[in-house]
Structure 1
């Protein structure tokens, strides 16, 4: 399984809406999750199109049109014509989109096939000609030097945040040989997520709640959190919400699900005064463990597999910015982590185990 496929598994499990039903937080799969998947698919197809040297949507009589790679990319392009671009803009109103997505929308938004059946073998001759011309224009634009500079600039923030978070996690493992890693999503009850409604949580209020939560995590009253990272996101269904990654000293703490529950209850009852809900991601460890990509729970510094899974969690927090980057209304931050980690000076204690050696694939 490639890194991108593993990360997609995290996306699939992370883009559900968390709603309160009779006091319980439940997952509800929504249009927002489907649109986010569509956006990633468009960026992927556009990247493949950029590298593809052969022509697409040529007359069906040409030999090239019958090649498998050509037909596969043509079919993927056709499938993307069914995406609701208007809904994308509505669902993500405070966001900047990957330049590859913007170019796709520039040329293909509004293109409809008369047959309304998006299969390569059923596309009419004049539609083939139109699609061929559009894909050639797309390739010409995205291969330009100016566009490449724009794309690199857009992706720089996501890559920088991912790198800094991985370095932060590595520094924590220098200090703590074993850590209890917890993922919690902090969000709001449905009545406070109605777009432009009177009770809707504002960005200023969400920011105030985040400051209060972090103040608690850094205080002596908390449950011993030694490190953290957070990511602010916004969606039409969930409004403002935070994805948080928390680290505790594994020498003193073990019950990750219980601790996540206690932190969630603090968010609900104290920070938001009843407006919030939370989702305890550690309760769903089995699905990730089955895939061999578990990255939460108790992790020792030498457990190479679990630390690789933790890097996927770090990517899950930061890599969506490669596709859709949120812009806070007041220009504030959308990502943050704990301060600089200073290794302990003492060298007492048992020697550390050597890192596990993963079996070769």
Structure 2
């Protein structure tokens, strides 16, 4: 199972750290339309921050040393070293983080370390000045400019290699120490509290829907904006502002609550429920994850209905600036959306344990791009459960006939 960009069974002090390649869902203009495309960009700011975050998470649950110097018996006499750096799998991951351009990240998002403390404690640890032979500079700067950019990281004197290994291990221990401090643990509790509450509310919505309809039609889609309109340097005044994005969200909620039923067969919205989650991505700015639950006894074409809602977002709400991804159109090994009956326990399990947590998951950067008082999660009210009269049904008596 993949979690936080890593394979679950690789956790602990095992030698292999398996990092999942970074992939992002982006919206781009193509032939007059805004289409969703999955892009694997290993050099983007979002990719670098995601990788560092995953490495730090792993560091905080391991204890072993990741780097050391070992002597080498057979080595070319012209080389300046008699030792080489031996790195565990985790050590290689840490060294890759040291090669990333951290200043590029900070220039774009100066407060990112305050909102993503995993990145923050890494940055604080590796940007401390360390004394070198003729100067002192941040470890990350020295590693990126003087140690790691060359093809042979061991082509230095043993003294220099010892310093780099020493300072790297000290940075790793500093990350582990700060990750165990009360301040970091309190931040972690805060960042996890809201997702848990959102998840509980969404699970309650699903239970309420199942009480009204034994057959659900679950729609899942992601909404966002063309990359062009996310970049003010490209789009200028046409770029989507935060206030405009809020207006679009209000219009979407109004459509789902009041007008969706007019586009579907009668009874399709009996037991209707939905939830909208706003997130901020370092690569795609503001976007939404949406789930809609309809009466599966009346409607079955989940792909078509989802596409209709997505098109309404693109053409009517955002006037061509928006893009959408129809998740119901995709193929999943284990499916927790689409047609789900009350007795289909495996589908319900996937819905509750995979789909819902994904929608409700923690978003490090949402607060970085909105006022503190603004929400990021909007669930609908639970559907009304009609009370069933108790007792035996009685036939009406026509008093005229009894006379």
* TM-score under structure 2 length normalisation: 0.71
* Higher RCO, Cα 8 Å, sep 6+: 1
For residues 334-353 of structure 1, the aligned pairs below 5 Å read: 334-346=376-388
Q: 2:100: which partner in 1?
A: 83
Structure 1: runs of 5 or more not aligned: 349-361
- Structure 1 residue 214 displacement after superposition: 1.0
CA contact (8 A) 1:328 1:334 kept: no
Larger mean Cα displacement after TM superposition, 173-182 or 273-282: 273-282
- Structure 1 residue 32 displacement after superposition: 8.8
Q: Does 1:233 align with 2:270?
A: no
Q: Does 1:156 align with 2:165?
A: no
Q: Does 1:187 align with 2:224?
A: yes
For the pair shown, which has the larger CA radius of gyration, 1 or 2? 2
Q: Secondary structure at the match of 1:45?
A: helix
Q: 1:302: which partner in 2?
A: 343
Q: Secondary structure at the match of 1:218?
A: helix
In structure 2, the CA distance between the partners of 1:41 and 1:235, relative to structure 1 (3 Å rule), is closer
Q: 2:293: which partner in 1?
A: 247
Q: 1:52: which partner in 2?
A: 62
Equivalent-residue separation in structure 1 for 2:155 and 2:387 (angstroms): 70
In structure 2, the CA distance between the partners of 1:145 and 1:267, relative to structure 1 (3 Å rule), is closer
In structure 2, the CA distance between the partners of 1:231 and 1:162, relative to structure 1 (3 Å rule), is same
In structure 2, the CA distance between the partners of 1:277 and 1:159, relative to structure 1 (3 Å rule), is same
Equivalent-residue separation in structure 2 for 1:270 and 1:72 (angstroms): 50
Q: 2:121: which partner in 1?
A: 103
In structure 2, the CA distance between the partners of 1:338 and 1:147, relative to structure 1 (3 Å rule), is same
Q: 1:217: which partner in 2?
A: 256
For residues 62-77 of structure 1, the aligned pairs below 5 Å read: 71-77=88-94
Q: 1:23: which partner in 2?
A: 32
Q: 1:354: which partner in 2?
A: none
Equivalent-residue separation in structure 2 for 1:249 and 1:182 (angstroms): 11
Q: Secondary structure at the match of 1:59?
A: strand
1:132-168 superposed Cα distances (whole Å, 9 cap, x missing partner):
1211222222222332222222222223223332332
Structure 2: runs of 5 or more not aligned: 9-19, 72-83, 128-139, 391-403
1:291-332 superposed Cα distances (whole Å, 9 cap, x missing partner):
x3x2221112222222232231222222242x5444443341
1:255-308 superposed Cα distances (whole Å, 9 cap, x missing partner):
111111211222233222333332222211x2x23xx3x222111222222223
Equivalent-residue separation in structure 2 for 1:131 and 1:231 (angstroms): 39
Equivalent-residue separation in structure 2 for 1:180 and 1:254 (angstroms): 7
In structure 2, the CA distance between the partners of 1:6 and 1:235, relative to structure 1 (3 Å rule), is closer
Q: Does 1:264 align with 2:310?
A: yes
* TM-score under structure 1 length normalisation: 0.78
The answer to which structure has the higher helix fraction is 1
Equivalent-residue separation in structure 2 for 1:12 and 1:336 (angstroms): 31
CA contact (8 A) 1:92 1:234 kept: no
